[in-house]
Structure 1
Amino acid sequence: MSSGDVAVRAVEVWKRYGKGSTQVDALAGVSADFGKGRFTAIMGPSGSGKSTLLHCLAGLDRPSDGTVLLGDVDLARLPDKQLTQLRRDRIGFVFQAFNLVPTLSALENITLPLDLAGRKPDQDWLATVIDAIGLSDRLGHRPSQLSGGQQQRVACARALTSRPEVVFADEPTGNLDSRSSADVLDFLHRSVREFDQTVVMVTHDPTAASYADRVLFLADGELQSELTDPTAESVLDRMKQLDPGPNVGEPVR
């Protein structure tokens, strides 16, 4: 994949915790490219390093060694102040916890990152995103007045409002029922297909991963394999090879 087609690139990324006999390698030399306008899922058994990789890619954590490039910027080398600004301006986030401000309306939560940056939203783009999440009639409601699925769609809209280069999603459907999960995943999928958004998602759920264009599989901090055009069945089969336990791939209740 040429550099012009790559949104984020990891090169020999290591993440170590502890020292000496207590050292743990959460990531052990992971290299991967994440294409522009593509939806990539990252999967692996518990403790495989998938969330650690996502956090390093998103500039939420610094690798112990290696390089993480957003465009031509090495996140690992940026001073804290510049890294904070880059995350605000060029990256969107969706987490398992919705992280909405309870005293703000849905619309105010959606525009909050731009408000904090002192920027005005592009009204046409904002209208497009709001239409895509299907909550135009709920914009005046506070989070407590919305279902879990509606709150997560607000969080997705918030992540897209600044038109980031990449949206990172960490278990975005982990707290949702199957219907709400499908709504959120449909929205992320549409953002890639219709808006040319780049999405990188960590998930434990083979059904969620099947919405992606490609799935990367980690185990013991290392990249083991990848799968293109995944189905829930093909993802589950691959996960069973990595972790043959009886409950692999089943949603956590």
Structure 2
Amino acid sequence: MPAPGQRGPVRPSPTEEVDDVTATTGRQAQAAARASDVWKVYGSGEAQVVALRGVSAEFERGRFTAIMGPSGSGKSTLMHCLAGLDAVTRGTVAIGDTTVTGLGDAGLTKLRRDKVGFIFQQFNLLPTLTAKENILLPLSIAGRKPDPAWYDVVIATVGLRDRLDHRPAQLSGGQQQRVACARALVARPEVIFADEPTGNLDSRSGAEVLSFLRNSVREHGQTIVMVTHDPTAAAYADRVVFLADGEIVSELIEPTADTVLDTMKKLDVPAATEVGN
């Protein structure tokens, strides 16, 4: 495997540099999250696995982006690197105007507390706390009080006002995931990362959660980056980015379940051909 970044860059002319800086500054103002020439390599020697190969991508503010790809394509690795949950081997990652790459433990903790929200497949709710206490937990840990007006908007959006005093065991799976969504949204993070948020839900509950996520983007300007394997879930997004073998290979704007499925089938063709050979 060639070393990441082995080829030397071609230096632009001074005029091109000025234009590029201006364009980059404008893009950064619109990007909630960015990956620039990101490589992620696990292990070494014969055991080396290259999960990401020079990935560059921007995720615009106020947009819902889905990341898809075959198993092992690097989609979850990319999300973890963007969110500061995993360090990149080479390249840079930023959330808003904060460069994540190189941050120490204290900086990463502050980033996750103030600028990033998370929604996981397993809900990750504390069983001894009520729905309301779970929603407010990150703010409580940070020593912050919720904005009452915004909290009211979030609760109205997830539709759980009559369930706030219930503990997770008293809620359905879809309700628990909506609590997790509200917890991620209440702090008004720069971006919310959702990792297979409907993976443990039936189709009806999954549709409710996805509708909530879509509405939080369209009505409240939230930015969401979601990893999913489900074409129907991806169709709720404004944009779908496709990875294969650690590289971005395609994208769709205003996707439908059919266009997503067609694209995924094309990505699976080479692997199927190799197996057949």
Instruction: Give the TM-score category using the shorter length.
Output: over 0.9
- For 2:132, give the aligned amino acid: L
1:220 aligns with 2:245: yes
Match of 2:98 in 1: 73
Counterparts of 2:131 and 2:161, CA distance in 1: 10
Match of 2:61 in 1: 36
Counterparts of 2:128 and 2:87, CA distance in 1: 32
Match of 2:205 in 1: 180
Match of 1:153 in 2: 178
The root-mean-square deviation of aligned C-alpha atoms, in Å, is 1.2
Counterparts of 1:201 and 1:72, CA distance in 2: 21
1:74 shift after superposition: 1.4
Deviation digits for residues 35-79 of structure 1 (CA, Å, limit 9, x no counterpart) = 000000000000000000000001111111100011222111111
**Normalised TM-score (structure 2):** 0.87
Q: Name structure 2 gaps, 5 residues minimum.
A: 1-25, 271-277
Counterparts of 1:56 and 1:117, CA distance in 2: 23
- For 2:188, give the aligned amino acid: R
* Poorly superposed stretches of 4+, deviation over 6 Å: none
Match of 2:3 in 1: none
1:88 aligns with 2:117: no
Matches within 5 A, 1:1-253: 2-244=27-269
Counterparts of 1:109 and 1:69, CA distance in 2: 28
- SS of residue paired to 2:233: helix
Calculate percent identity across the aligned residue pairs. 68
Counterparts of 2:31 and 2:189, CA distance in 1: 14
1:159 shift after superposition: 0.1
- For 1:241, give the aligned amino acid: K
Computing the radius of gyration over CA atoms, which structure comes out larger, 1 or 2? Answer: 2
Q: How many residues align?
A: 246
- SS of residue paired to 2:123: coil
**Normalised TM-score (structure 1):** 0.95
1:244 shift after superposition: 3.8
1:135 shift after superposition: 0.6
